Chain A
Amino acid sequence: MQHAEARQEDLSASREGRGRPATRDEVVVARHLEKRFGDFVAVDGIDFSVERGEVFGFLGPNGAGKTSTMRMVSCLSPVSGGELSVLGMEPNAHGPEIRRRLGLVPQDDTLDLELSVRDNLYLYGRYFDLPRREVRQRVERLLEFAHLSEKGDEEVDNLSGGMKRRLTIARALISEPELVILDEPTTGLDPQARHLLWDRLYRLKQEGVTLVITTHYMDEAEQLCDRLVVMDKGKIVAAGSPRQLIDTYSTREVAELRFGVDENAAAAERLAELAARVEVLPDRVLLYTDDGDEALRAALGLGLRPEASLVRRSSLEDVFLRLTGRSLVD
């Protein structure tokens, strides 16, 4: 696609972390962005910017305000406060122009249940006023891309959840958008379907499309995102690349120890010395340290006998726990 070259430079720049190129191209910029429903504040003055060609993530639990933010960015819902610029334009004034260049994968599939798979794509292209012949060609390409070529004439109702999701993604691509917004693209899918989807998203990224993804799966955020923000209760609580966030808010490794249900808290007190930080969850104790095996040995040395234990690298889950004191997925 047309942005491939520009994308390569940007990618290398953002991989380097903070050293952004002077000519950076910001696709979405939000300043003190707010969304209110009556008295309720769903998005509470957030700042972020998405650069052309990157995969930008919003990680947060249910109710954090991710969907509300995505709907404002895709000009589906009016901005309540602050500033928002999408593709250099103001959503309230230029909704249709912005949407023409943007693809949205909403949280719910919203497919047209009275149309076949192929007609779903075809008509969506027509909503962008694309010429028929052009749409027909794109439809066939996208069916292939979404691994749905055999299902073209099938009723949408008969597709599996993963297929519907892929169809929704294909639908968002029919206008060859510069910016694609994916609201929880893999929620509710089985692992196999998720991996197929991730693969398709990688391809898009390779083609230079800017992706904005929301998720409450930390592995998804870690796999896909160049940069991300962690959202909670309408606010952004941290921002950076997955690596930066883990480096900043967690240690290199984590030792997980499971004691009996009522014994975790007592054990944690005795473990306090062994790690930089200790977290007690209902079912286990987490020791944050740069050398997990060492910490585990020391714990055994204290005479503690956990029912189960493991050592792993820190993840975004740990970042979230550190920042909010809660788990991402309850």
Chain B
Amino acid sequence: MTVRPVFERSSVLSLRVLPPALLGRGMARRLVERNVIAYRRRWWILATGFFEPFFYLLSIGLGLGHLVGRLHLDGRLVAYAAYVAPGLLASSAMNGALFDSTFNVFFKLKIAKSYDAVLATPVEVGDIALGEVTWSLLRGAIYSFAFMCVMAAMGLVLSGWAVLCFGAATLVSFAFAGIGMGATCYMRSWQDFDYVSMASIPMFLFSAVFYPLSVYPGWLQVVVSLTPLYQGVDMIRELDAGLLTPALALHAGYLFALGLAGMAVAARRLGALLRP
């Protein structure tokens, strides 16, 4: 892959408002570099991650879509495939971010113990948290970008504002990278990863990816609308349709806050685990 120079100098998020311990000492990009190098030999693991949402789009969006017909979206009728595509984009951003921030972080933390080695260098726990979250976010962003290209090629994009969906999807990746890593730092064994699927699969199925929130009774609508994936799905769907409402800022703020909180939890927990 030739993506490496791109990541080289950018520390991607410059969040200087936060205390330095949380964000390390500007060495996070080294953790990103590590992952880029590690995946150069396993690029196909990365590449195949794109196909799952793509297959869902073809199967549920197009195949089953014929049986669903057209849906109302903000007063206009759209093909089911065009309705479901933004939802799948959001879940693709979620899953892409979860691969590395959960299993792979756990492997490095508990099995290979390679973070112990990293901490013997000038790198700090905050760098590890920010670096791993950034990488997970990048992986999610790569999938989001590819998925959006497919959407555009299949004519499923509803408005010109849809270019903003990429930023929104990246925000979804950030939120789940943070949450995933924060939770992973508290896991004790591989068995605990059942919780990751127990959270992500129901979210994928019930967070209005496949059908509007309105099929639920009122109280359930409230519960579902609080999930981070729903926030992402709704934000991306509205951007795709060119609906620029103040709610967008709310969605974005919510996801951003979740990502930051997860990252802060991860940094603190890493410190407690690795620097007793």
A in complex with B: yes
Q: Which residues of A contact B (CB under 8 A)?
A: 37, 74, 76-78, 95-97, 99-100, 104, 106, 108, 110-116, 119, 122-124, 126-129, 171-172, 175
A33 to chain B, nearest CB (A): 16
- Inter-chain contact A99/B122, CB cutoff 8 Å: yes
- Inter-chain contact A123/B34, CB cutoff 8 Å: yes
CA distance A111 to B41 in the complex (A): 17
Is B117 an interface position by the 8 A CB rule?
yes
A126 to chain B, nearest CB (A): 5
- Inter-chain contact A119/B121, CB cutoff 8 Å: no
Q: Which residues of B contact A (CB under 8 A)?
A: 25, 27, 30, 33-34, 37-38, 41, 108, 111-114, 116-124, 274-276
A sample of 13 cross-chain residue pairs with beta-carbon separation below 8 angstroms, ordered by A number, consists of: A74-B120, A77-B275, A77-B276, A78-B275, A99-B121, A108-B113, A110-B112, A112-B34, A119-B37, A119-B38, A122-B37, A124-B121, A127-B118
Complex contacts, A99 vs chain B, CB 8 Å? 120-122
- Inter-chain contact A128/B122, CB cutoff 8 Å: yes
Complex contacts, A172 vs chain B, CB 8 Å? 120
Complex contacts, B120 vs chain A, CB 8 Å? 74, 76, 99, 104, 106, 172
Partner of B122, one of A37, A78, A112, A129: A129
Complex contacts, B118 vs chain A, CB 8 Å? 127
Complex contacts, A111 vs chain B, CB 8 Å? 112, 114, 117
Complex contacts, A106 vs chain B, CB 8 Å? 116-117, 120
Complex contacts, A115 vs chain B, CB 8 Å? 34, 37-38
CA distance A49 to B37 in the complex (A): 41
- Inter-chain contact A123/B119, CB cutoff 8 Å: no
CA distance A226 to B118 in the complex (A): 30
B212 to chain A, nearest CB (A): 42
CA distance A37 to B275 in the complex (A): 11
- Inter-chain contact B276/A37, CB cutoff 8 Å: yes
Q: Looking at A97, A124, A172, which has the most chain B CB atoms within 10 Å of its CB?
A: A124
Complex contacts, B276 vs chain A, CB 8 Å? 37, 77
- Inter-chain contact B112/A113, CB cutoff 8 Å: yes
- Inter-chain contact A127/B121, CB cutoff 8 Å: yes
B122 to chain A, nearest CB (A): 4
- Inter-chain contact A100/B114, CB cutoff 8 Å: no
- Inter-chain contact A96/B114, CB cutoff 8 Å: no
CA distance A110 to B34 in the complex (A): 15
CB within 8 Å for A127 and B37 given contacts A96-B122, A99-B120, A111-B117:
no
